[in-house]
Amino acid sequence: MTWILFILFSVVATGGAVGVVTGRNPVASLLFMVATLASVAGIYVLLEAHFLAAVQVIVYAGAIMVLFLFVIMLLNLGHDYQADVKYGLWFLLAFVVAGLTAGALTMGFSDAEATGFGDVAAGEAIDAAVLEKGAVGAIADPLFTDYVVAFELTGLLLLVAVVAAVALAKPRNRRGTDAG
Amino acid sequence: MLLDYSSGFHYLLALAPEVVLSVAGMVVLLAGVTGKREGGPGHELGWLSLAGLAAAAVANGWLYAGVAEDGATAMIAVDRFRLFANWIFLLGAAFAVVVSLDYVARQKLQAGEYYSLILFAVVGMMFMASARDLMIVFLGLELMSIGVYALAAFNRRDRRSAEAGLKYFLLGAFASGFLLFGIALVYGATGSTNIHDVAVAVQEGTAARGLLLPGVALLAAGFAFKVSAVPFHMWTPDVYQGAPTPVTAFMAASVKSAAFVAFLRVFLVGLGDVSSEWGPILWWLSAATMVAGNLIAVVQSNVKRMLAYSSIAHGGYLLVALVAGNDTAAGGLLFYLLVYTVMNVGAFAVLIVAGNQSERGSRIEDFGGFGWRNPVLGVFMTIFLLSLAGFPGTGGFMAKLFLLQGAVEARLWVLSVILVLTTVVSYWYYLRVAWYMWMKDAPEGTAPARLAVPIAAHAVLLIAAGLVLLTGVFPGAPLELAMGAVEGLVEVVAGR
């Protein structure tokens, strides 16, 4: 049963990802992306990471994607996309590169399985942490202890992104200058 | 004092320079917003940023003087490698802020956002230098990059600035994707993002090589983009030429230094045991970068664009140190970054002053007779150009000498020969500018404007030229600092 669900979710996630980049309409691409993110949430559920799955649906598939959709609709950007890669040769090259990458990764993963990739010790540690602290605690506790620097740094990163976006996009003042 | 990360407060102490500078960035931002509306030139914000940089340098010195850490397992390294690199970034940023003062005022840029983005970008660089975890490397890199994307596009009345920003953003985001994918694969192979744990897993052979090697290749591609190594350099000339000149100076000096420092720590400390795998890749990158960067620079007719290609070529020299991978080369790399920051910002500072705080006057013909019209600036520019070329008696020469020493110790004969030969080629295009300055007349039919040189810019030029000559004649003290800075790093490398 789990395997059937896993294959279902993976196919939807991969197909959705292909749809995102091949879709000609931004709104369609966006909906494909929602499908991808929701399927990834499904895979999280199969891995018994229920909290992550919920956050994935609420934050990504829900809030962020809806925000994207609003922006596209409000700014009237929903026009059909004109392909800028027109030449057959480039398509061929893209396929060759993608195929080589996929081949290398497949070999990598099979090699990794041979050398004991994904050993059970880490999984057991996670199970123990979830039992002890609950699904949220197992994430929150390391987030504010071991990973506190990365967490705070992410906050700073978001601040800088907002400042940069506002500085570039805010309307000019009356004198047509940027100062002030 | 000894840092103990079981106390959250000690994280703050370990991050003192970063914290001080982040606070300074926010203060500058708030001061810029709450200042007079139709604002003045924004000089006071520049001086405020400079004070913040100085405070961060003091905090950095306090860490340097006697703070040690308990074990070496935290995400943040408190070692001399990081602290020395921090000083290089802070120095480069301080120069960039000072040469921006009149540029920002004249081009009527948004001073508060401009200076605070520079400060935040430096915070990102310092995190890259301190990162002992690939996660921090990535976050620091993004913090730096996002700030610099915006700075490259900062002059909104200049179309080329917008083009530079967009080009840099799109390609940079793409490269960040490579880097992140590489980090994910390395994590998959070794089970950790901690650089030390990665090193242990690689050394003990528990890392899955089939995942590790694609990860290393993607990491190399991501970093090669950030240090603009050939063939990942395509964005560099356009972005450097289009961005406001003080931002170009900042990018060419500090952004490149930060990328190299993180590159060195990740590859030499974390992945040192698979250097037989990535060594040849970097060898070719280095050789291609030195040859292509120098040869293309020869045919440039715009000084700003020439300096962009020159910065690519210098990236090639620095890659030699990574291929060599010994402590001489690593110390030489830090020393080179220090000298490179100083001389590069110096050359760009002259360019800014010569263009009268605008984007004009960077064609090589505009420098005809420049030396006789402005003898002081001409002498400064000549010093920087000679140092960039690696003329004996300047810091650039000494820096190249130590890189060569590291390369020879690692028996990289071919790479050493390429380094020397391409340096000879580089004499041509650096000295061509000097030749125009002193041997040619001003272009016909133009009346060169008298240049107003701000006192602050004079101070930067004087300090930069002084440092270039000092490191060229007496390289002892800074070199000892640089060599001492990599000592802790070397222990990790040699310890296995």
The minimal CB distance from A178 to the residues B110, B146, B165 is found for B110
Residues in A touching B35 (Cβ below 8 Å): 180
DSSP letter string, B122-149: HHHHHHHHHBSBHHHHHHHHHHHHHHHH
| Placement of tokens 């993976």 in the chain | A10
| A5-22 burial: b if 16+ Cβ within 10 Å, else e | eeeebeebbeebbebbee
Residues in B touching A154 (Cβ below 8 Å): 139
Range of the domain at B216: 2-494
The confidence score (pLDDT) of residue B430 equals: 93
- For residue B208, report the phi and psi dihedrals to the nearest 5 degrees: -75, 110
Question: How far A173 CA sits from the closest chain B CA (Å)?
Answer: 8
Residues in A touching B189 (Cβ below 8 Å): 112
- pLDDT tens by residue, B364-408: 888 888 888 888 999 999 999 999 999 898 999 999 999 999 999
* A57 SS3 class: helix
Task: Please report which helix (H) or strand (E) contains residue B460, including its range.
Answer: helix B455-473
Cis peptide before B231 (omega within 30 of 0): yes
**Helix axis angle, B256-264 to B111-130, nearest 10°:** 20
Mutation site, B73, B120, B145, interface A, largest A CB count within 10 A: B120
Alpha helices in B191-244 (DSSP H): 195-204, 209-226, 235-242
Contact B38 A173 (CB under 8 A): yes
Residues in A touching B153 (Cβ below 8 Å): 168
The minimal CB distance from A122 to the residues B42, B156, B191 is found for B191
Taking the whole predicted model, whether its pTM rises above 0.90 is answered as: yes
- pLDDT tens by residue, A108-130: 878 777 665 555 566 777 778 88
The confidence score (pLDDT) of residue B449 equals: 66
Question: How far A120 CA sits from the closest chain B CA (Å)?
Answer: 12
**What one-character DSSP code corresponds to residue B69?**
E
Residues in B touching A159 (Cβ below 8 Å): 26, 120
CA nearest B368: which of B310, B446, B299? Answer: B446
* B362 SS3 class: coil
Mutation site, B4, B21, B43, B108, interface A, largest A CB count within 10 A: B108
Contact B188 A167 (CB under 8 A): no
DSSP letter string, A156-168: HHHHHHHHHHHHH
User: What single letter denotes the amino acid at residue B109?
Assistant: L
DSSP letter string, B284-335: HHHHHHHHHHHHHHHT--BHHHHHHHHHHHHHHHHHHHHHH-SHHHHHHHHH
| Placement of tokens 């508060």 in the chain | B112
pLDDT higher than 60, residue A16: yes
Mutation site, A113, A154, A157, A177, interface B, largest B CB count within 10 A: A157
Q: How confident is the model at residue A21 (pLDDT cuts 50, 70, 90)?
A: confident
Nearest CA in chain B to A107: B210
Question: How far A124 CA sits from the closest chain B CA (Å)?
Answer: 14
Contact A161 B146 (CB under 8 A): yes
Q: Say how many C-beta atoms besides its own lie within 10 A of residue B405's C-beta.
A: 17
A58 token code pair:
């609420």
Nearest CA in chain A to B108: A179
| Distance, CA of A27 to CA of B100 (rounded, Å) | 42
pLDDT higher than 90, residue A24: no
- For residue B111, report the phi and psi dihedrals to the nearest 5 degrees: -60, -45
Q: Which domains can be identified in chain A, with CATH numbers?
A: 1-82 (1.20.120.1200)
Nearest CA in chain B to A163: B113
Question: How far B113 CA sits from the closest chain A CA (Å)?
Answer: 6
CA nearest B142: which of B156, B160, B159, B121? Answer: B121
The minimal CB distance from A179 to the residues B11, B39, B165 is found for B39
| Distance, CA of B359 to CA of B347 (rounded, Å) | 15
**B13 class by beta-carbon count within 10 Å (0-12 exposed, 13-18 middle, 19+ buried):** middle
- pLDDT tens by residue, A59-110: 988 888 888 888 888 887 666 666 666 667 877 888 898 898 888 888 887 8
| Distance, CA of B491 to CA of B275 (rounded, Å) | 17
Angle at Cα B94 formed by Cα B93 and Cα B98, nearest 5°? 115
User: How confident is chain B (496 residues) per 10-residue block, as mean pLDDT?
Assistant: 76 90 94 70 88 95 82 78 94 94 87 94 95 94 95 90 93 94 90 87 82 91 93 92 94 94 92 89 94 93 93 95 89 94 94 82 84 89 94 92 92 93 94 90 69 85 93 88 79 44
Contact B143 A157 (CB under 8 A): yes
Chain A / chain B CB contacts < 8 angstroms: 120
B141, B226 Cβ separation under 8 angstroms: yes
The confidence score (pLDDT) of residue B496 equals: 37
What is chain A's mean pLDDT, rounded? Answer: 82
The minimal CB distance from B150 to the residues A112, A147, A168 is found for A168
* B385 SS3 class: helix
B399, B336 Cβ separation under 8 angstroms: yes
Mutation site, A160, A172, A173, A175, interface B, largest B CB count within 10 A: A160
Contact A178 B123 (CB under 8 A): no
Task: Please report which helix (H) or strand (E) contains residue B3, including its range.
Answer: strand B2-3
CA nearest B85: which of B406, B359, B489? Answer: B489
Residues in A touching B147 (Cβ below 8 Å): 160, 164
Q: How many domains does chain B have?
A: 1
B361 token code pair:
């006057």
B84 token code pair:
């020395």
Task: Please report which helix (H) or strand (E) contains residue B468, including its range.
Answer: helix B455-473
Contact A108 B213 (CB under 8 A): yes
The minimal CB distance from B214 to the residues A108, A167, A168 is found for A108
Chain A residues in contact with chain B using a Cβ-Cβ cutoff of 8 Å: 104-105, 107-112, 115-117, 122, 146-150, 153-154, 156-157, 159-161, 163-168, 172-175, 177-180
The confidence score (pLDDT) of residue B445 equals: 64
Contact A150 B75 (CB under 8 A): yes
The minimal CB distance from B208 to the residues A115, A157, A167 is found for A115
The minimal CB distance from B11 to the residues A107, A108, A148 is found for A148
Contact A160 B153 (CB under 8 A): no
| Distance, CA of B125 to CA of A38 (rounded, Å) | 36
Residues in A touching B191 (Cβ below 8 Å): 122
CA B441, B446, B449, B453 dihedral sign is negative
Contact A153 B120 (CB under 8 A): no
The minimal CB distance from A179 to the residues B42, B133, B146 is found for B42
Nearest CA in chain B to A102: B214
Question: How far A5 CA sits from the closest chain B CA (Å)?
Answer: 24
B410 token code pair:
């690692």
